Amino acid sequence: MTRPKTVTFGEVVLRLTPPGYERFMQSPTLNAHFGGAEANVAVSLAHFGLNSHFVSRVPRNPIGDAALRALRAEGVDVRSVQRGGERLGIYFTETGASQRPSLVVYDRAHSGFSELEPERIPWSDVLRGARWFHTTGIVPALGKGVAECTREALVAARATGARVSFDVNYRRKLWSEGEARRVLRPLLEHVHLLIANEAHLTDLLGAAPATAEETTTQGRLETLRMAAERVASEHGIEQVAITLRESRTANTNAWSALLYDSASKTLYRGPRHVVHLVERIGGGDAFAAGLIFGLLDGRSPEAALHFAIAAGALKLTVVGDFNRVSVEEVERLVSGDEGSRMLR
């Protein structure tokens, strides 16, 4: 049986983190992982058994080589990754604890990927046979050139008949809300599935309804349904996923999501998992990959949503950026097995 081909576009980065809960420079040692939102999605899709292709640009040096080896080791096809530039993007993370939040410091300026120029990627060749294309709002935040590359990719993906998903993934340390709003909104007309959190949807994309009643859970859900319906109608988007993450402390999160379907005008509400975090990073990327997999697998919108939420929750229990879990493990959580038993 032929595995569905997916294509993900974005930057693979090097992540450096002090051991355990130590603060920056408290330890002379930093643990190294490769990651990045779009690379994380590509890895998850590979672990779910799809023919996952990743498109990027890395420098022609030992660090770039190591990044590609890391992706290949996870089953990702990196033949469309270009080589060039002086450096790989880096980000530093400090793991939070209890009431002290986690911290991220970016060092991504002038990375090989951020200096990628338009018309350098042969999108018609890269996307040949692809069933799905995915990218995020982090990519256009890195510069005008990669923003235009993003537009080229979205247009080409639609032209080839691939389904297109876009995760807003707004990072205030990379660009302002005004810049993001100006660049992202025109891109949405090329998107089938939009993924956003509550703030992205209502504030960044300007979809907050005029009559928001949020004093009750039902009122909040109706507010989000109206916001999703509005952004979907304005941009011709078929489905809007809204991640709901409640950070009780730096170590404990409640994790859930909603999915609005334009055709049926239905808002699906998924289950809520309380997660004691091993890892703060990558849950949203795993959610996106789970939703892509579920929809490609022919599941109903509601079933795909349940799978995606479970995938995101499990990622928060896996150290590093990559979500190294299988379809079977996600299905166990979907079925209600919260991991209280040892698997023998």
Query: Which pLDDT band holds residue 216 (cuts at 50, 70, 90)?
Result: low
pLDDT of residue 202: 81
Q: Is 12 helix (H, G, I), strand (E, B) or coil?
A: coil
pLDDT of residue 213: 53
- Please check the confidence at residue 250 and state whether its pLDDT lies above 90: no
Integer distance in angstroms from the first to the last C-alpha of the chain? 30
pLDDT of residue 174: 92
Per residue in 47-67, pLDDT (tens digit) is 999 999 999 999 999 999 999
The radius of gyration computed from the CA coordinates of the chain, to the nearest angstrom, equals 19
Average pLDDT, the chain: 93
pTM score of the predicted model: 0.94
Mean pLDDT of 20-39: 93
Per residue in 300-322, pLDDT (tens digit) is 999 999 999 999 999 999 999 99
Mean pLDDT of 168-196: 95
Residues recorded for the chain: 344
Check if the beta carbon of residue 6 is closer than 8 Å to that of residue 101.
no
Give the Cα separation of 59 and 115 in Å (integer).
Answer: 11
- The two three-digit tokens of residue 89, written as one number: 């993007």
- Pick the more confident residue, 156 or 251: 156
Domain at 5-334, CATH homologous superfamily: Ribokinase (3.40.1190.20)
pLDDT of residue 209: 58
Residue with tokens 């959610």: 287
Q: Which residues are catalytic?
A: 285
- The two three-digit tokens of residue 330, written as one number: 């996600």
pLDDT of residue 249: 83
Query: Which pLDDT band holds residue 341 (cuts at 50, 70, 90)?
Result: low
Helix axes 283-296, 301-315, angle to 10 degrees: 150
Closest to 17 measured CA to CA, from 249, 314, 320: 320
Mean pLDDT of 114-126: 96
